[in-house]
Amino acid sequence: MNTGSAIRAESVGKTYRSGGTDIHVFDNLSLEVRRGERLAIIGESGSGKSTLLHLLGGLDRPSHGRIFFDDRDIVALSDRALADFRNQQLGFVWQNPSLLPEFTAFENVMMPLLVRGVGREEASHTAAVLLREVRLQTRQHHRAGELSGGEQQRVAVARALAGSPRVLLADEPTGSLDFRTGDMVIGLLADLHEMHGLTSVFVTHNLSFATRCDRVLELRNGCLEAPSVMDLAAGVVVQDATRLGGGTYV
């Protein structure tokens, strides 16, 4: 693993205004993600995990602080430049695959490339390769509604990789899947991380998923901390986490 910094957040804070009250999600939060690393971020619901992922992905802007990809401060970019950066450098996977229902799996993977202006032949080739990598080559001409939840999520993963991103950001990628399907997707994400030379940041409640990553951080009370091995083994860190074998960590 190249241990250089791929992502660096410096003294980042996020405050929302709600009902005349300021809600501070976190303040002066710092984070470094090494190039090639698989980082899992865990924490109780409402701790700010998804907010942090949105900031790292340039989908929202911090109230203060800076976020660097290599030496590029994305907070300083214009809205247009930031959109171009997301399109060219990042891949996103969400709990809900949000596939376009009127299109096939193949067309859903092609779509971001066509929007980018890639020729149809090249986009078609890329989609075919990625659908083989996620083991859906025999289902590529099925529409989204004809696919199982796990198959839809694999299409979403292929779509996220279509633009050859350097960084993959995933928010609860197994959250809506049963434990067996979720375990398969976890293994697939690990394989694709290596195959595509990615830096990956996962927000998850699944402690089995988290502990298979290179590093685990817990977001608690606005701070990122490394949970102890005992905490992870006992399952006391995330009270609503899903056990791989069924049930919950309570």
SS (H, E, C) the chain: CCCCEEEEEEEEEEEEEECCEEEEEEEEEEEEEECCCEEEEECCCCCCHHHHHHHHCCCCCCCEEEEEECCEEHHHCCHHHHHHHHHHHEEEECCCCCCCCCCEHHHHHHHHHHHHCCCHHHHHHHHHHHHHHCCCHHHCCCEHHHCCHHHHHHHHHHHHHCCCCCEEEEECCCCCCCHHHHHHHHHHHHHHHHHCCCEEEEECCCHHHHHCCCEEEEEECCEEECCCHHHHHHCCCCCCEECCCCCEEC
- Amino acid 232: pLDDT: 67
- Amino acid 242: pLDDT: 40
CA 54 to chain centroid, in Å, comes to: 9
Q: Angle of helix 149-161 relative to helix 179-195, nearest 10 degrees?
A: 20
Work out the pLDDT band at 206, boundaries 50, 70, 90: confident
pLDDT exceeds 60 at position 8: yes
Q: What would the pLDDT profile of 121-148 be if each residue is shown by its tens digit? A: 999 999 999 999 999 999 999 999 999 9
Copy the structure tokens of residue 97: 């695959």
- Amino acid 224: pLDDT: 94
For residues 206 and 43, what is the distance between their CA atoms, to the nearest angstrom?
A: 10
pLDDT exceeds 70 at position 237: no
Query: Of 90, 67, 75, which Cα lies nearest the Cα of 9?
Result: 67
Residue spans per domain, the chain: 5-249
- Amino acid 3: pLDDT: 59
pTM of the model: 0.88
Share the mean pLDDT of the chain.
89
Q: What would the pLDDT profile of 42-97 be if each residue is shown by its tens digit? A: 998 888 999 999 999 999 999 999 999 998 999 999 999 999 999 999 999 999 99
CATH architecture of 5-249: 3-Layer(aba) Sandwich (3.40)
Query: Of 206, 194, 218, which Cα lies nearest the Cα of 242?
Result: 206
Calculate the alpha carbon distances from 206 to 71, 84, 113, 229 in Å. Answer: 32, 32, 31, 15
Q: In what order do the strands lie in the sheet with 64-69?
A: 21-34, 5-18, 64-69, 72-73
